[in-house]
Structure 1
Amino acid sequence: MRLSTVILPIHRWNEGRKLWQRAEELGFHAAYTYDHLAWRTFRDGPWFGALPTLAAAATATERLRLGTLVTSPNFRHPVTLAKELITLDDVSDGRLTLGIGAGGNGFDASTLRRGDEQPWTPRERADHFDEFVPLLDQLLREPSVTYEGTFYSANEARNIPGCVQRPRLPFAVAATGPRGMKLAARYGQAWVTTGDPKLYETGTPEQSVEAIRGQLTKLGAACESIGRDTAELDKVLLTGFTPDRPLQSFDAFVDFAGTHFALGFTEIVIHLPIPDSDFAADEKVFERIATEGLAQLGH
């Protein structure tokens, strides 16, 4: 099992640089950031762009993998995103992972819409995602792409020299529904979940485990339907959205990680503590988890 972290893009770079470097010093496998224009309780404070932040982090670190968790079609186009990802993969010398999902309908989902336009419905988000992921996959693999779809088009989109990582940088596909699971099975090198959001406030840890077990079963069925071994995909759990409180104490994390390792997860992602927020936590506990947590599991 691997342990990674999320560093929200809320810091000016003279402070942010230290956080990304500290994540590397602590031995995290990867550090991710959210790709949003604004987000929840942070929307009235500083919030910087994900891809420029990752480019800066790439130059400030040497070994740490970097990525989005997650990018979505809500405000990205596959052609321009592919160009930026190829550049980031080059700047980071092949350390980039693209976390990608269908997106939600809150926060910044309608920032690019006219005032009279409604956010996409779940079906519309799934429709866009169905087209977005295969086109992005093609753009990152091929030097020139021409495509005309329902939502996106590309006219001789050139992407030379392509990714440092071959045949392209890895996709970590966030999905819980059947259509998203099919995309994860076909295009993902990893699958990402935050658990069942309906259980966050009123559910129990035991109910969460069962819900996640059900998600893993659906992923397995999606892989089986195309003849792919589900073991080929990493399984990534982004914490902070289940009834559990794994950062409450060192022992709480060890119990949480052990339970989810037994389910088949290969990577757990914890948020860098942010005081006076949903991600508040004891920094000493966080650092002990980073340096000793997985050793308790024999990893």
Structure 2
Amino acid sequence: MSLRLSTLILPVDRWHEGGRAKWQRAEDLGFHAAYTYDHLSWRSFRDGPWFGAVPTLAAAAATTSRLRLGTLVTSPNFRHPVTLAKELISLDDVSDGRITLGVGAGGIGFDATALGQEPWTPRERADRFAEFVALLDRLLTEGAVTDEGRFYSAVEARDIPGCVQRPRLPFAVAATGPRGLRLAARYGQAWVTTGDPKLYENGTPEQSVEALRGQIAKLGEACAKAGREVAELDKILLTGFTPDRTGPLQSLDAFVDFAGRHRDLGFDEIVIHWPIPDSDFAADQKIFERIALEATAQLG
């Protein structure tokens, strides 16, 4: 199985002071895709620069020509399907059909309360996520949509001319629980995981591999119930949140070993964070670029 290598660029740089250069360099290095987080602020970066995902991706689309672009991930925490759909068809147009929407249920971070709401319970997040994805699918595939939901509604919402990619741009659904996996099986062109969060602090790489094996098996069960082959969905691993953390970026050999084990599990795409000094994503830039240039060839 061939493996695609992508990167995730945090939106922490002013566009004319290093931001644009990173996206251009990602294309020059041959990455399959470059993603960004869709947050209002995030973790330890909260008190520093942090730019919006949609305008960042629009700028990246205008300064690249081959690189796929997308969010990893967008959530209902501060998004509404009607306005998001309009922004997505615009991004897909500007990029000439290079946008992937990574979408997830969201969590309890800063985004969860930035609009003044109380944090949603896990059940409410799951309920909202299901309605959010279903309505977004309709908005991106139908010319006009009226729908009254429990959480999200649309009244004569028009998204003309629709996406460049048909019938719509691809969804990469982030999920590990049964309800999220059912959404991935029904609506996803790809599935995203960061591994098992319970193993992040004290787990081992071997335990992480087994947990991921179990997640892929559950995805297969959800696909079977939805009448789809699990092979129809790309399987994306966003790294940096498994017990290995930055270990795979210590050398080309370490990454090839890591990537090979996860390719053998069934992953089609591995995403590595663009290095940021003095952060959880610190890594040697030269090693990172060597991995980008050489790893996929070594993996076959």
Q: Same fold (TM over 0.5)?
A: yes
Deviation for aligned residue 1:161: 0.2
- Is residue 193 of structure 2 the alignment partner of residue 225 of structure 1? no
Q: Summarize the alignment of residues 191-202 of structure 1 with structure 2, pairs less than 5 Å apart.
A: 191-202=191-202
SS in 2 for 1:41: helix
Deviation for aligned residue 1:108: 2.1
Between the aligned partners of 2:154 and 2:39, the Cα distance in structure 1 is 24
From 279, 282, 285, give the equivalent of 1:280.
Answer: 282
* Greater mean deviation of Cα atoms: 10-19 or 244-253: 244-253
Between the aligned partners of 1:113 and 1:153, the Cα distance in structure 2 is 20
Unaligned 5+ runs, structure 1: none
What does residue 171 of structure 2 align with? Answer: 171
From 52, 63, 76, give the equivalent of 2:79.
Answer: 76
Deviation for aligned residue 1:3: 0.3
Deviation for aligned residue 1:113: 2.1
- Is residue 85 of structure 2 the alignment partner of residue 86 of structure 1? no
Q: How many residues align?
A: 295
Q: Give the TM-score, by structure 2 length.
A: 0.98
Q: Deviations over 1:55-93 (max 9, x none)?
A: 000000000000000000000000000000000000000
What does residue 204 of structure 2 align with? Answer: 204
From 108, 111, 122, give the equivalent of 2:111.
Answer: 108
State the superposition RMSD in angstroms: 0.6
Unaligned 5+ runs, structure 2: none
Between the aligned partners of 1:105 and 1:17, the Cα distance in structure 2 is 30
Q: Deviations over 1:206-259 (max 9, x none)?
A: 000001111001100000001100000000000000011211221110010000
- Is residue 51 of structure 2 the alignment partner of residue 48 of structure 1? yes
What does residue 214 of structure 2 align with? Answer: 214
Between the aligned partners of 2:109 and 2:42, the Cα distance in structure 1 is 9
Q: Summarize the alignment of residues 232-251 of structure 1 with structure 2, pairs less than 5 Å apart.
A: 232-244=232-244, 245-251=247-253
What does residue 139 of structure 1 align with? Answer: 139
Deviation for aligned residue 1:276: 0.1
Between the aligned partners of 1:78 and 1:248, the Cα distance in structure 2 is 40
Q: Deviations over 1:73-127 (max 9, x none)?
A: 000000000000000000000000000000011232111124xxx3001101000
Between the aligned partners of 2:25 and 2:175, the Cα distance in structure 1 is 30
What does residue 162 of structure 1 align with? Answer: 162
SS in 1 for 2:157: strand
